Structure 1
Amino acid sequence: MDYRDEFIVAARYGLESGTARQLSRRYQKGELVRVRKGIYINKETWLALKPWQRYAATARAVAAENPTAEFCFETAALFWGLQVVGVPSHVHLATTSRGHAGSRGPRTSAAAVGPSGTTGLERVRGYGIYRHSYSAATVSHLGLQLTDLLPTAVDVLARGSFTKGIVLADHAISKSRFPKLFTSKAALGEATQGLGSEAKRQRVNYVLRFADKNSGSAGESLSRAQMHLLGFPSPELQCEFHDAMGFVARTDFFWRDQGLIGEFDGDAKYLQDEYLAGRSAREVVLAEKRREDRLRALGFAVVRWDWTTANDPAKLAAKLFAAGLAPLKNTAMRTIHQRLRG
């Protein structure tokens, strides 16, 4: 795939039209966004993209500007389809030259137009470039040169927090959620031998020991990692419940001793067509209520939370406390958490 077709490339435009001046005029009129030097895109198209999409498009613009660019770390993970929490601030590139390593700020820009002097990009985040002194073999995937899947995964695990690492690791080993490229804990463990230090290997292996292929979504993985670090007892995942009428539910979390069911509610369940299955959002909410009523009728308590709560340890702890769940005593997780984040 030639990602230059996604953009208006000044060099090619000049060859085809005889001059690139029209691009400069359109840029000055506020019609185009300059993503990278000589790489343009229609402003309306750019503004319509979500942050992750703009990040990916910025990386593709880098490839259009420099076809030999080799992507690594979170950028490579994105193009492999691995789940990464949050949008990185930089596009990550590998370079064998120490002199070229380092970060550069965003170069995405638009011309100021109209009496207000605004560009339209004031509230739109741009993404810089971070070149890492990193010698690694790359493979072609989706028309880009990326570090291979396993090295990419362990590189990201070695760099990030425990919670973000669990999200990625759970996804990487899940056949149901990552069907074409899923891997195993053992394969990821072997890939840690390519890391530069024993400390990094230990860091990744700690994440892998906790990773679980049964986690149903990124939000569930994040929640479970937060519970672990907060010292709450480990829940059972994806338990099935039945009543006299038959199947009731497969739940996200279940604390058997406490008779407590935990459910993570992502927005996708209520907003995306693939999850609505032809139903309205109201119908989905009513179905969830009936499902929860049947679980409560079986004698279980049910606690629910969303992304905002999962991202905030204090809010999640308060939610679980209120539901009657107490942390284990003498947990070592807080100490481990501090070390992993350092």
Structure 2
Amino acid sequence: MKIERMRKAVTIEEARQLLLSRRDVLARGITERELKGMVDGGVLIRVRRGWYAEGEAWAQLWAEGRHLLKVLAVHRESSGGGAAFCFDSAAVLHGLPLYRTFPAHVHVLLGRTSHSRVKGGVARHDIQVGEGDLEEIEGIRCTSLERTVLDLTSRLGPEAALSVADAALRRVAVRGNAQDSEVAATWRGELARRARAVSGRGIRQARAMIARSDGRAQLPGESVSRLHLHRLGFTGIEL
């Protein structure tokens, strides 16, 4: 029962329960030497410095869940609420899939800095984002769903990009098993409008994946299969 449950998507609340601070671990009566031994033996996994998860639980998490724990650890150690999360890190807060993507860093926005930089496993990006492109999810600031889709469909590989677009559209336009065609068309149109106003690497792919998105795809495998069939020349593919 536990393994099957952990193979499912992990919510922010579930991830918070899995994340252990160094203080949490030592409060169990574990010594510093025992803590080191538990990490060396895989009983505990060091999520980042000062933060841990039980090894058994970590082994059952998908890449999205593991990255979510890292995002929560960075948020909890940040003062004043911290900077807003972006890219892959915003995606896991929104519950979007990261098909065959394994983020090396936690990504945050820091405006008015001289350049983007990586330190302590956190990539800080000098990108200006308007307040309309930011939102708060369970007390954590991140880029909005639409901005996150635009960012990732231009940055990820095509399979992962379409999976993100499909999953986001599913949240917006699908009720039960039916997709509201008008809502879906409006969402695609708005993102297409925003994408036309952007230039740079990957934006052509972003426009194509947004236009091809279909919220009826329930899993990344359906998105990827549809993309491959399209490449093979099939048309009128029904989910």
Q: Which residue of 2 aligns with 1:236?
A: 237
Confirm or deny: 8 A CA contact 2:99 2:159 kept in the other structure.
no
* Change in 2 beyond 3 A, CA 1:10/1:209: closer
How big is each residue's C-alpha offset from its partner over 1:56-85, in whole Å with a ceiling of 9 and x where there is no partner? 112211112224142111221122122331
C-alpha distance in structure 1 between counterparts of 2:54 and 2:65, whole Å: 15
Question: Once the 2 structures are TM-superposed, how far is the Cα of residue 205 of structure 1 from its aligned partner?
Answer: 2.0
In the alignment, residue 223 of structure 2 is paired with which amino acid? S
Q: Distance in 1 between matches of 2:112 and 2:33?
A: 37
Contact 1:74–1:88 (Cα < 8 Å) also in 2: no
- Cα distance change of structure 1 residues 7 and 171 upon mapping to structure 2, 3 Å threshold: closer
User: Sequence identity of aligned pairs in percent?
Assistant: 24
Q: Tell me the CA shift for residue 22 of structure 1.
A: 5.0
Q: What residue in structure 2 maps to residue 110 of structure 1?
A: none
| Equivalent-residue separation in structure 2 for 1:100 and 1:43 (angstroms) | 36
Aligned position for 1:262? none
Give the counterpart letter for 2:110 in structure 1: T
Read off the aligned partner of 1:190 and give its amino acid letter: R
Native 8 Å contact 1:103 1:130 kept in 2: yes
Higher relative strand content: 1
Q: Is the counterpart of residue 129 in structure 1 residue 122 in structure 2?
A: yes
**1:78 is aligned with what amino acid?**
V
CA contact (8 A) 1:151 1:194 kept: no
Shift of 1:140: 1.2
Distance 1:178 1:84, change over 3 A: farther
Structure with the larger RCO, 1 or 2 (CA within 8 Å, 6+ apart) = 2
Question: Compared with structure 1, are the counterparts of its residues 194 and 6 closer, same or farther at alpha carbon in structure 2 (3 Å cutoff)?
Answer: farther
CA shift at 1:98, angstroms? 4.4
Contact 2:153–2:206 (8 Å) recurs in 1? yes
C-alpha separation in 2, matches of 1:129 and 1:81 = 20
RMSD: 3.5
1:79 aligned onto 2:93: yes
Map of 1:3-82 to 2, 5 A cutoff? 6-10=18-22, 22=30, 24-30=32-38, 32-66=44-78, 67-82=81-96
Whether the 8 Å contact between 1:62 and 1:69 is mirrored in structure 2 is no
Compare the two structures and name the one with the higher helix fraction: 2
**Equivalent residue number for residue 116 of structure 2:** 101
What code does the residue aligned with 2:154 have? A
Give 1:289's aligned residue.
none
Q: Which residue of 2 aligns with 1:144?
A: 140
1:178-257 equivalent positions in 2, closer than 5 A: 184-192=187-195, 195=198, 197=199, 200-215=202-217, 217-230=219-232, 232-237=233-238, 252=239
Unaligned runs of 5+ in 1: 108-127, 238-251, 253-342
Shift of 1:4: 6.5
User: What residue in structure 1 maps to residue 3 of structure 2?
Assistant: none
2: distance between equivalents of 1:38 and 1:171?
A: 33
- What is the count of residue pairs matched by the alignment? 208
CA distance in 2 between counterparts of 1:36 and 1:189 reads: 38
CA–CA distance in structure 1, aligned partners of residues 32 and 176 of structure 2: 43
Structure 1 residues 146-202: Cα deviation after superposition (integer angstroms, max 9, x where no partner): 1111111111111123332222222322333799xx86201222333674x266544
* Structure 2: unaligned runs, 5 residues or longer: 1-11, 178-182
Q: 1:176 is matched with which residue?
A: 174
Q: CA deviation at 1:13?
A: 8.3
The one of 156, 161, 185 equivalent to 1:160 is: 156
Q: Which residue of 1 aligns with 2:7?
A: none
1:22-61 deviation digits (Å, cap 9, x = unpaired) = 5623322315433223223334443443433222112211
TM-score (normalised: structure 2): 0.69
Name the aligned partner's letter for residue 70 of structure 1.
A
Instruction: Report what 2:4 is aligned to.
Output: none
Q: Is the 8 A contact 1:27 1:33 kept in 2?
A: no
Distance, in Å, in 2 between the alignment partners of 1:193 and 1:97 is 26
TM-score in terms of structure 1 length: 0.50
